[in-house]
Amino acid sequence: MTEVKCIGCGAVLQSEDKDKKGYIPASGMDREEAICKRCYRLKHYNEIMDIDMDSGEFLTMLNSLYETDGLIIKVIDAFDFNASLIPSFNRIVGDKKVIAVINKIDLLPKSTNTGRLIHRAKHMLKENGITAVDTIAVSALKNDGLDKLISMMKKHSKKEDVYVVGTTNVGKSTLINQLIKMTSGESDVITTSRFPGTTLDLIDIPMDDDTFIYDTPGVIVPSQMAHFVHAGDLKYITPSKEIKPKTFQLEHGQTLFLSNLARIDFVNGDKSSFTIYSSNKLTIHRTKLSNADEFYGKHYNGLLTPPEISEPVLINDKKEYSFKVTEDSDIEISGYAFISVQAGTEVAVHVPKGVEVNIRPTIF
């Protein structure tokens, strides 16, 4: 069978998997100038649709970006800084300019210090060898800060193309959809010119007469907590509204369960406050450290829900991270929570094996 390619994005058309690139319902396959569902939505509804891509394909695509000129918009999830990093990101950036966009700030408490947040994002990129020419905090969903972002893009792009890059779920599609709305207002935004002969799967969206935005599908980061719960239970662990932080005064020898997927032990130090930033739907329980395993075994699918989990993962298959906290810091459990802890404490965090836990100077 000959391969037929989408005239919009160049992906090979297929009717087997609607989450994968190039999907088209079988009935559309025979049409001349066939167009995949994703491009169809973009063309007719001004909407970008997410698709899956494996990381090998993704890296091939990003590597070919290295050769082109352009401005990179690096999207970072304000609630999941660490998972927002793309491995070998600097290899693909080359000497292109990067604007760092911290998205989803509507999820953080209104009192969050945006200056510190931006400072932290810059630092994170620097640790990965990248200096951003500008950094901005926005909410793509609430259309907050996007006017300023467009001005920044105009200032830095010098008529080059713009590439929106980031891991899955950081909000690239939402951001691009908003930018399309704000800059075009027209329905026929998709163009049909492609990068011939490459596996690039980038969609061109004209920003103005000279500049195009390219949407790059996100790489899937396997370490997020989302992978440990049933798809239907993601709504419990992923915050959808402004986070209401919860503060506990703890003595050492006490522990906090954050639902059934994380445990925070206060191992050593003077009485201290622990503030948890997570989805408001999670349950927090304080108990004695000496009693923690027994408590968990009894209550993991009772008191400590939602979500429900298939096994007591913090007993059967856990990883423990230990921290001696020397300055006020946030411990970040990837995709699940931040815990603000104070200098002088010794803290251990238990999570399902595979979930990343990091510590960084506090942004709160």
What Rg do the C-alpha atoms of the chain give, in angstroms? Answer: 22
Residue nearest to ligand GDP (CB): 171
Q: How far is the CB of 237 from ligand GDP (least distance, A)?
A: 13
Q: How far is the CB of 89 from ligand GDP (least distance, A)?
A: 15
| Single-letter residue type at 292 | A
Q: How far is the CB of 342 from ligand GDP (least distance, A)?
A: 28
H helices then E strands: how many in the chain? Answer: 9, 16
Q: Are 9 and 51 in contact (CB under 8 A)?
A: no
Q: Which is nearer to ligand GDP, 174 or 345 (CB)?
A: 174
Q: How far is the CB of 188 from ligand GDP (least distance, A)?
A: 22
Distance between CA atoms of residues 55 and 229, nearest Å: 22
Distance between CA atoms of residues 336 and 266, nearest Å: 19
Q: Which is nearer to ligand GDP, 86 or 93 (CB)?
A: 86
Q: Which is nearer to ligand GDP, 224 or 345 (CB)?
A: 224
DSSP letters, 143-191, are TBSHHHHHHHHHHHHTT--EEEE--TTSSHHHHHHHHHHHHT--S----
Q: Are 276 and 339 in contact (CB under 8 A)?
A: yes
Q: Which is nearer to ligand GDP, 240 or 290 (CB)?
A: 240
Q: Which is nearer to ligand GDP, 223 or 287 (CB)?
A: 223
**Interface with ligand GDP by CB under 6 A: which residues?**
50, 103-104, 106-107, 139-141, 166, 168-174, 218
Q: How far is the CB of 94 from ligand GDP (least distance, A)?
A: 22
